[in-house]
């Protein structure tokens, strides 16, 4: 007997192991360490945002204290630089203020071009490619650019070409500047030892698939910056791309985490690293992936540019599918568990019966049979309780699916992904789950009580009797089937069958009015069907 119990416990443990393991158990040690470190940075992110706001307030006070238009221009440019990765609207406002000061107050074309180039770069990074094109080609007189501004201009134009090529799905753009031509101009304008020159050369090496050389150059760029600088996050992201192309997936995740941490330190709101981390870990840790994605979506909405929310919304379908797969896996585990419990209950009952028969004397046979009948009756009640619990779980699943639908709608509304919201709203998962629940309920109950419909009709007048299709129950029969199982509370019946309370009440009243005999005792007679 002891051996059997130990074996049963072992089988149960093996069966429930997949659902009891935490998501982090599926991550390797290196990944687990990196994500734990990233989580610690996320927990303190608000302190970095507070420091950023203090810095911005100090810069604003400098503008208020100065009446010198040149100093005002420089302070506005400093504010635009500080706001650039933090708030699209604020950056745009300060740059346009710089354009106004340079053009109307100072009549300084060089300062005007400087602000315009940064504004075009801002539009490029935000995904406003039409606006960027207008700035670069209509608002800037390239013939009047100084040597310094030429380098700035072609750097911005080079990024414009690279970004619009990498995000061609955002907008159908006909005119794209020649990236190679921009690169050649920049090689002539920049010092080979400069950071910008090395960054351009790194991109060229990556395009030529000289990944080892590109990685070495990226290492030099990273060593020249610190995690507190925004360029560190950019170079770390570039290095993750190099690792990806070299199939070094562990290194890729590490550099994405480093990039995300640098973004947090700098209070950057316009980024891609955390979203990429969420996408990589989705198959291994759905909850953490969704948490990272939610943070990225909130930051993207705060920044208020159109590119990041569009990129994040494309990933939402993968998250939804992963959640659905996990729900299906959990449902299968519960079903297997119920089957195992049923098998173990049958085996235990058989062993108990054998032990009782062997241990009792022949003179106690009648008493043993009475006790066995009592045990069988108790087993029937336990079986019915398990079935009720199983049906309750299916009903809860319907509610959970509906709740998830509402949550996805809210997220998509925040991301302004109306088309995807429409698709999700039309999925009909809750209705399908409800129909599956009805089919499972009908099949399970009729298997337990095959004569229920016939005996139930015997309690009704001839004209009120119900004859549903074979293997199915009608709404009225489902209500009274639950009453037969001991669920006689109307609110609970309404919740399990996903009907309104008034619907349950109306069906019960109509059936009772058609009952043979006393209608007050009708439910008690239903409970005794098959007993």
What pLDDT score does 11 carry?
A: 44
d(Cα 92, Cα 132) in Å, to the nearest integer?
12
CATH of domain 449-531: 1.10.10
pLDDT at 5 over 50: no
Mean pLDDT, rounded, for 359-363:
71
Higher pLDDT, 338 or 419: 338
Give mean pLDDT, residues 324-342. 72
The pLDDT mean for the chain works out to: 84
pLDDT average, residue stretch 221-244: 96
Provide the pLDDT confidence category of residue 170 given band limits of 50, 70 and 90.
very low
pLDDT greater than 70 at residue 359 = yes
Burial of 356 (0-12, 13-18, 19+ CB in 10 A): middle
- What does the pLDDT average to over 92-112? 95
pLDDT at 418: 66
Whether the pLDDT of residue 19 is over 80: the answer is no
What is the rounded average pLDDT of the residues 209-223? Answer: 96
Higher-confidence residue: 507 or 9?
507
Highest mean pLDDT among 45-54, 393-402, 426-435: 45-54
Whether the pLDDT of residue 403 is over 90: the answer is no
pLDDT at 404 over 70: no
**Helix locations, 416-500, DSSP H:** 418-425, 429-448, 452-457, 475-484, 490-497
Per-residue confidence (pLDDT) for residue 173, from 0 to 100: 53
Residue 138 DSSP one-character state: I
> Highest mean pLDDT: which of 373-387, 394-408, 486-500?
486-500
- Cα–Cα distances in Å, from 125 out to 153, 270, 375? 15, 9, 73
Q: What is the pLDDT of residue 42?
A: 97
CB 268 within 8 A of CB 48: no
**pLDDT level of residue 188 (50, 70, 90 thresholds):** very high
Domain edges within the chain: 27-319, 449-531
Q: How confident is the model at residue 66 (pLDDT cuts 50, 70, 90)?
A: confident
If one compares 318 and 511, the residue with the highest pLDDT of the two is: 511
Residue of 354 and 250 predicted with greater confidence: 250
Which stretch of 175-189, 192-206, 218-232, 264-278 has the lowest confidence by average pLDDT? 175-189
Read off the tokens for 410: 């809210």
Neighbours of 226 (CB within 10 A): 11
Residue 424 has pLDDT above 70, yes or no: no
How far CA 388 is from CA of 52, 128, 328, 393, 468, in Å, comes to 56, 57, 20, 9, 22
Question: Where does the pLDDT of residue 391 fall: very low under 50, low under 70, confident under 90, or very high at 90 and above?
Answer: low
What's the rounded mean pLDDT across residues 354-367? 74
Q: What is the pLDDT of residue 216?
A: 96
Q: Can you tell me the mean pLDDT for 251-259? A: 97
The mean per-residue pLDDT over the stretch 152-167 comes to 90
Is the predicted pLDDT of residue 15 greater than 60, yes or no? no
Q: Which range is least confidently modeled, 252-261, 281-290, 322-331, 381-390?
A: 381-390
CATH topology of domain 27-319: 1.25.40
Within 45-87, residue ranges assigned H as helices are: 45-64, 69-83
Name the residue with higher pLDDT: 392 or 23: 392
């Amino acid at each position: 007997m002891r051996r059997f119990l130990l074996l049963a416990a072992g089988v149960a443990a093996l069966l429930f192991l997949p659902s009891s393991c935490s998501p982090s158990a599926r991550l390797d040690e290196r990944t687990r360490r990196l994500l734990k470190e990233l989580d610690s940075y996320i927990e303190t992110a608000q302190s970095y945002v507070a420091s950023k706001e203090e810095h911005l307030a100090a810069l604003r006070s400098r503008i208020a204290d100065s009446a010198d238009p040149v100093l005002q221009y420089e302070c506005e440019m400093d504010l635009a630089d500080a706001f650039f990765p933090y708030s699209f609207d604020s950056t745009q406002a300060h740059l346009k203020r710089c354009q106004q000061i340079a053009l109307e107050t100072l009549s300084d074309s060089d300062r005007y071009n400087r602000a315009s180039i940064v504004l075009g770069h801002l539009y490029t990074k935000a995904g406003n490619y039409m606006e960027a094109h207008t700035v670069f080609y209509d608002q800037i007189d390239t013939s009047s650019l100084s040597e310094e501004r030429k380098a700035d201009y072609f750097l911005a134009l080079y990024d414009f070409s690279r970004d619009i090529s990498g995000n061609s799905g955002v907008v159908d753009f006909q005119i794209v500047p020649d990236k190679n031509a921009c690169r050649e101009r920049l090689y002539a304008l920049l010092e080979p030892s400069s950071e910008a020159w090395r960054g351009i050369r790194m991109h060229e090496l990556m395009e030529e698939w000289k990944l080892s050389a590109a990685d070495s150059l990226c290492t030099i760029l990273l060593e020249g910056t610190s995690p507190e600088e925004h360029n560190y996050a950019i170079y770390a992201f570039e290095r993750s791309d190099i690792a990806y192309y070299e199939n070094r997936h562990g290194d890729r995740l590490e550099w994405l985490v480093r990039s995300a941490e640098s973004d947090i330190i700098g209070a950057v709101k316009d980024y891609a690293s955390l979203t990429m981390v969420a996408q990589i870990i989705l198959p291994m840790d759905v909850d953490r992936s969704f948490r990272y994605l939610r943070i990225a979506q909130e930051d993207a909405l705060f920044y208020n540019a159109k590119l990041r929310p569009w990129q994040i919304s494309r990933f939402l379908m993968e998250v939804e599918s992963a959640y659905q797969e996990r729900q299906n896996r959990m449902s299968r585990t519960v079903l297997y568990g119920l089957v195992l419990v049923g098998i173990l209950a049958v085996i235990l009952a058989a062993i108990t019966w054998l032990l009782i028969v062997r241990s009792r004397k022949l003179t106690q046979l009648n008493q043993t049979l009475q006790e066995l009948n009592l045990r069988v009756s108790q087993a029937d009640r336990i079986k019915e309780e398990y079935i009720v619990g199983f049906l309750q779980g299916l009903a809860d699943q319907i509610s959970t699916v509906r709740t998830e639908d509402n949550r996805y709608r809210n997220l998509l509304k925040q991301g302004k992904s109306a088309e995807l919201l429409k698709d999700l709203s039309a999925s009909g998962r809750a209705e399908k789950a409800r129909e599956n629940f009805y089919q499972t309920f009908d099949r399970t109950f009729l298997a337990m009580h095959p004569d229920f419909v016939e005996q139930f009709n015997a309690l009704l007048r001839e004209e009120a009797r119900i004859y549903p299709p074979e293997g199915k129950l009608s709404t009225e029969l489902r209500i009274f089937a639950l009453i037969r199982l001991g669920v006689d509370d109307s609110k609970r019946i309404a919740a399990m069958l996903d009907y309104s309370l008034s619907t349950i009440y109306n069906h019960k009243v109509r059936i009772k009015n058609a009952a043979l005999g006393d209608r007050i005792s009708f439910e008690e007679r239903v409970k005794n069907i098959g007993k």
